[in-house]
Amino acid sequence: MICDIKSLSADALQYQFRDWNQPAYRAAQVLEWLYVHRVSSWDAMTNLPKAVRELLRANYSLQTLELVRKQGARDTTQKFLWRLSDHALIESVLIPANPALYGEASDRHTLCVSTQVGCAYGCKFCASGLEGWKRNLRADEIVEQVLAVERWHAAEEAKVSKAQPAPSNKLPESSNRLVNNIVIMGMGEPLANYDNLMQALRILNAPWGGGIGARKITISTSGLVPQIRKLADDPLQFRLAISLHGATDETRNKIMPVNRKYPLAELTAACEYYQKRKERMITLEYILIAGVNDAIEETKPLAKLAQLLHAKVNLIPYNRVEDLDWERPTEAVQEAFLEALEKQNVTATLRREKGHDIDAACGQLRLKTERELAAK
Ligand code: SAH
Ligand code: SF4
């Protein structure tokens, strides 16, 4: 199978042009077409000689994501369902800036990115795992989610500015990024697709690629211990979020099968190692599910763990998934849980979900669409 051009590092591309006896600046030209202008065809790379375009076409693919469905209005959380070249479906979610969430304040957007088609980890509450794991995404398919959303946005902006001419001093859209925060919290377990994920993140982080700061990229994992340790040893300073959802083995075992493989003691040790190596604050994600993990006594082990890891806790009210019986607790219960944590000197936030009404939790739009397609 030929490799996609957006899986390549700048070094690899430079090496390729050298090998073809082409001048070194060709690599820079291609990178600019891909990551600044976000073109989706070789023929759009108009400053490359035709022969070079043919060489590229013969040796690399240049795949883009096909938009199947989009939910959500402008300036709110918007969800994109994409079709891959093998017709598999994945999701990305665009969330308007919310400074209280992951990391620094932002005046732009966060994109929630998928890393696999489906998920093998089968957490009991999650739509992504319901129909199992199909395959890993390639690095270019991860990178392309950012580019495809920005391409879509630029086209929307162009429609608006056609109606009302833009002021003449406005920079061209291609020179600035719509997405300046990335959370790897879409479909799939990112650390189970470690190499492709890291290649994609290096491309999205590189100045010649996405130019998105490593500190603006958060990787969320259900708790794959060996990969957390490996990530701790990687020189790039990505942020880490742990999908904890229970602070005892008893609670975690009930909802997350991964905890049987990597119980809390091992996960905690890996997080301590990460924290020491990186000197970065870890986020503990905690979905509040009615009657499962929302009792006030659950805040005690949670607070202890957060203190040990110098971590902050992000409480997320559960989003209903069709076919599953789980429910989110009442707002009063959510607030009481938050207050109990704060009383124990834990830094915690309660997410007032922006995308609740559009099935914002990962995997839900895909599941719905696949079922509708199957029923046809
Ligand atoms: N596999 C990784 C990343 C993808 S899931 C992980 O588990 O961390 C991203 C986040 O969405 C996780 O914290 C996950 O637990 C949460 N999530 C899954 N289903 C949800 C739902 N129905 N409501 C709220 N959060 C959900
Ligand atoms: Fe997979 Fe994460 Fe969903 Fe668990 S929560 S099934 S690890 S995507």
Question: Does residue 172 carry a pLDDT above 50?
Answer: no
The pLDDT score that the predictor gives to residue 358 is 46
Q: Measured from the CB, is residue 364 less than 6 Å from ligand 2?
A: no
* Max CA distance (Å), the chain: 69
**246 close to 252: Cβ distance less than 8 angstroms:** yes
Alpha carbon separation from 110 to 92, 183, 211, 237 (Å, rounded) = 10, 7, 14, 18
**Domain spans, the chain:** 5-59, 66-375
Confidence category of residue 89, pLDDT binned at 50, 70, 90? very high
Report the DSSP pairing between strands 312-317 and 283-288.
parallel
Decide: pTM greater than 0.75.
yes
Side-chain half-sphere exposure of 275, counting CA atoms within 13 A: 20
| pLDDT the model gives residue 177 | 85
Q: Are strands 312-317 and 116-118 parallel, antiparallel or unpaired?
A: unpaired
Q: Is 119 in the pocket of ligand 2 (CB under 6 A)?
A: yes
Q: In the chain, what are the helix, strand and coil shares in percent, each to the nearest 5?
A: 45, 15, 40
Active site residues: 91, 362
Average pLDDT over residues 209-236: 96
- Residue-wise pLDDT tens digits, 331-355: 999 999 999 999 999 999 998 755 4
Q: What is the DSSP letter of 220?
A: E
User: Nearest to residue 70, comparing CAs of 124, 16, 151?
Assistant: 151
Which among 241, 288, 287 has a CA at the least distance from the CA of 267?
Answer: 241
How many Å apart are CA 285 and CA 360, to the nearest integer? 16
**Backbone φ/ψ region at 115: left (φ over 0), alpha (ψ -120 to 50), beta:** alpha
Q: From the CA of 184, give the closest atom in ligand 1.
A: 3
> pLDDT of 357-373, one tens digit each?
444 555 566 666 666 66
Using DSSP, state whether 234 is helix, strand or coil.
coil
CA distance 38 to 177: 11
Alpha-carbon distances, residue 42 vs 16, 121, 162, 238 (angstroms): 16, 38, 26, 32
Residue 209 has pLDDT above 90, yes or no: yes
20-78 pLDDT tens trace: 999 999 999 999 999 999 999 999 999 999 999 999 999 999 999 999 999 987 778 89
Domain 5-59 is of which CATH architecture?
A: Orthogonal Bundle (1.10)
Provide the CATH number for the domain formed by 66-375 in this structure.
3.20.20.70
Confidence of residue 104 (pLDDT cuts 50, 70, 90): very low
Determine contact, residues 305/258, Cβ cutoff 8 Å.
no
**211, burial (CB in 10 Å: exposed 0-12, middle 13-18, buried 19+):** middle
pLDDT at 173 over 50: no
Would the CB of 221 count as within 6 Å of ligand 1?
Answer: yes
Query: The tokens of 153 are what?
Result: 């946005």
Residue whose CB lies within 8 A of the most ligand 2 atoms, among 126, 133, 366, for a mutation test: 126
Contact 149, 157 (CB under 8 A): no
Q: Is the CB of 141 under 6 A from ligand 1?
A: no
Find all residues with CB under 8 Å of 53, minimum gap 6, and list them: 42, 43, 45
Closest residue by CA, ligand 1 atom 13: 243
Fold agreement (5-59, 66-375): no
DSSP, collapsed to helix, strand or coil, labels residue 76 as coil
Q: CA angle 261-192-3, nearest 5°?
A: 160
In the numeric block, which tokens belong to residue 248? 């005892």
207: confidence class by pLDDT, cuts 50, 70, 90: very high
Rounded to whole angstroms, what are the CA distances from 74 to 24, 94, 162?
A: 41, 10, 17
Closest by Cα among 321, 304, 262 to 124: 321
307 Cα–ligand 2 center, Å: 25
